[in-house]
Homo-oligomer: A and B are copies of this chain.
Amino acid sequence: MESSDIKKAGLKLTLPRVKILEILEKSERRHFSAEDVYRNLIDEGEEIGLATVYRVLTQFESAGLVSRHHFDSGHSVFELNQGAHHDHILCVRCGKVDEFVDETIEKLQHDIAERAGYQMTDHVLYIYGICADCQKDTG
């Protein structure tokens, strides 16, 4: 994933787009809200508007560079598309996000869709729970 991907997506190479892609790539974090990205930009001294962040993230999504998730219903979370497909498991206490893959579940979903007469286009699987750390904290 590099700036050339921006051009491949048919988007002009502009500072906001390059900076936003950099933030998604360089951070050890993997999941960002638009606000998260915006604050990172401000911290780096970049004067990029929140509207632009939303626009660029949406364009990146259309281009297949990032995925958008709706973990908790309140706001969107963006994640750079790298590595294979995976689902998410989230801590309802601390907000931690882990990832997992289960081939059996993947296959079963296709089977279910087929049996129901649907041509499957996508799926969403979130597991919510209390992570190991949070279980220790409050019993």
Which residues of A are interface residues toward B (Cβ below 8 A)?
A: 70, 73, 76, 89, 91-92, 98, 100, 102, 104-105, 108-109, 112-113, 116-132, 135
Contacts and interface: CB of A to CB of B under 8 A. Distances in A.
16 contacts: A89-B118, A98-B118, A105-B108, A109-B125, A109-B127, A113-B127, A117-B131, A117-B132, A117-B135, A118-B127, A118-B130, A118-B131, A119-B135, A120-B127, A123-B128, A125-B125
A125 B105 CA distance: 11
How many identical chains are in the complex?
2
A127 B132 contact: no
A60 to B, nearest CB: 17
Which 3 pairs across A and B sit closest by C-beta, in order of nearness?
A: A118-B129, A117-B132, A120-B129
